[in-house]
Structure 1
Amino acid sequence: MRLLDLETERLILKGISEDDVDFIFQEFSNDEVNRYLFDAEPTKTRQDAEDIVHMYTQQKQVTAHRWIIILKSDNTKIGTLGFHIWKPEFRTCEIGYDLQPAYWGKGYGKEAVKAMLQYITPTLQLQTVTACIYKDNAASLALAQSLGFTDSGEQKMFPFHGVEYWHNIYKREMPPMYIGYCGIQCHGCLIYKATYIQDPVERNGTQEMLAKKWSTQKEILEAKQIECEGCKSKRLFENCRVCQIRLCAKDKAVTSCQDCEEYPCEKIDSLKKKVHLSEEMMFVF
């Protein structure tokens, strides 16, 4: 799996690389940044920083990922964020984030974490995301709560220099999702008027072409008023037109209506699976 770089109004979230060793050393040798980080020793040497980078860049199987937070305005690296303890079988992962003290209180952390959640929820097919926060870390707690995380009542202990530090586990249940019949993870044409389009995963080296077609498909859906042939509802969801897997005799993409659940194409019955979609499935953060 290749995870993409992300972009927000003010930030670029760039996947960690060898170019970031010096910044990682600067970040995790900072006493203020490390104040509530009890799961690892502060970075003391450049080798320590290299080890952190390699932990993410040399994985044989992706279980964690880290992005460097960069200001668009001047390309300054100001922090990191990412996910770890990803358990696909349970559709869950834990997230973490950190910022240089000079950039605290400016909304950068929330902006970055929000973008990451919007991306990893469909990409990793997550149902639950957790954040492990030390009880005295008020700023981190406020950020998590502002994004819908609540106290699960669970705790985790990290022994550090002979002292036990108990952390509270905060959780957020993510919106349910539907992965289309063709298997490509894209919510642009699977969810009509979706609030978020995930760039499709690589497939036979055609990522750019697919991304362009997905975007075009969304524009088509938004430009026309689609009606269900049964109840004439405007709340209609269409299937993928890129892979052309499910086409009916009229050479139209298979459609399903949220209101009456009627399918114009009889071939859909062979799937033995009706998709129930609702407004709650939109990725709204």
Structure 2
Amino acid sequence: MTPVLHTERLTFRPYRPADEDAFVALLRDEEVCRWMGQERVPEADIRTLFRAILTDVYPQHRFDVWGLWHEEVYVGHAEVKPTGNVDGHELVTALAPGHWGRGLGTEAVRGLLRHAADNLGLKEAYGMVGGDNAASLALCRRLGFRHVRDVVGDDGTVTKLLVIPTTVGEPEPRGV
């Protein structure tokens, strides 16, 4: 069962039926789609995906997926799931544009790393970041991700496959 997780400012909560409209709005946002390296998908398809999370992913324990909440406001999405690109697990985050630039992305990735290590027993995790997504690539560098290889799409777009030990990326202790 996907657990509820907490970081300093974020709550990672498994989705509930009432969260569907927020999930759809996030994944229909043009900027979010651009940085996730995907085309905008029809709303009906996103609603089908959301319902599959509730009716298939959670009941079958396929992987962990959450809505991200800050002060009871939906701010994004997060996952830890097996990846088809390598033998391992991928961290996925997407924040609504109104919440960019406040350190929530870094905090979300750190929370996923802690969960991957403490609850899933993973020694490393992967990330897939669009080659032109400078902000996310900078975040990954700061946390200690290492470049594995470039994945080139049929359309020529480049996605960076990155890896990080799950014990890296821990925040510095306060007061030191």
Aligned to 2:174: none
Say whether residues 1:155 and 2:150 are aligned partners.
yes
SS of 1:102's equivalent?
helix
Say whether residues 1:35 and 2:34 are aligned partners.
yes
Aligned to 2:42: 44
Aligned to 1:167: 159
Could you tell me how far apart the structure 1 residues matched to 2:95 and 2:34 are? Answer: 12
Change (3 A) 1:157 1:52: farther
Q: Which amino acid aligns with 1:150?
A: R
8 Å contact 1:6–1:12 — kept in the other structure? Answer: yes
Could you tell me how far apart the structure 1 residues matched to 2:83 and 2:160 are? Answer: 18
Normalising by structure 1, we get a TM-score of 0.53
Aligned to 2:75: 78
8 Å contact 2:116–2:166 — kept in the other structure? Answer: no
**Residues 229-276 of structure 1 deviation map (CA, whole Å, 9 limit, x = unaligned):** xxxxxxxxxxxxxxxxxxxxxxxxxxxxxxxxxxxxxxxxxxxxxxxx
Aligned to 1:54: 51
Q: How far is the alpha carbon of 1:106 from its aligned partner? A: 0.4
Aligned to 1:189: none
Say whether residues 1:114 and 2:106 are aligned partners.
no
Q: Which amino acid aligns with 1:35?
A: R
- Pick from 91, 94, 99 the counterpart of residue 98 of structure 1: 94
Could you tell me how far apart the structure 1 residues matched to 2:153 and 2:21 are? Answer: 27
* Structure holding more strand per residue: 2
8 Å contact 1:63–1:86 — kept in the other structure? Answer: no
Could you tell me how far apart the structure 2 residues matched to 1:51 and 1:128 are? Answer: 31
Change (3 A) 1:133 1:5: same
Q: Which amino acid aligns with 1:21?
A: E
Could you tell me how far apart the structure 2 residues matched to 1:25 and 1:174 are? Answer: 30
8 Å contact 1:17–1:53 — kept in the other structure? Answer: no
Normalising by structure 2, we get a TM-score of 0.83
**RMSD in angstroms over aligned alpha carbons?**
2.3
8 Å contact 2:82–2:89 — kept in the other structure? Answer: yes
Q: How far is the alpha carbon of 1:37 from its aligned partner? A: 2.4
Number of paired residues?
A: 167
Q: How far is the alpha carbon of 1:166 from its aligned partner? A: 1.8
Q: Which amino acid aligns with 2:82?
A: I
**Residues 186-231 of structure 1 deviation map (CA, whole Å, 9 limit, x = unaligned):** xxxxxxxxxxxxxxxxxxxxxxxxxxxxxxxxxxxxxxxxxxxxxx
Q: How far is the alpha carbon of 1:80 from its aligned partner? A: 0.8
Could you tell me how far apart the structure 2 residues matched to 1:54 and 1:158 are? Answer: 28
Q: How far is the alpha carbon of 1:108 from its aligned partner? A: 0.8
8 Å contact 2:91–2:112 — kept in the other structure? Answer: no
8 Å contact 1:25–1:48 — kept in the other structure? Answer: no
8 Å contact 2:15–2:66 — kept in the other structure? Answer: yes
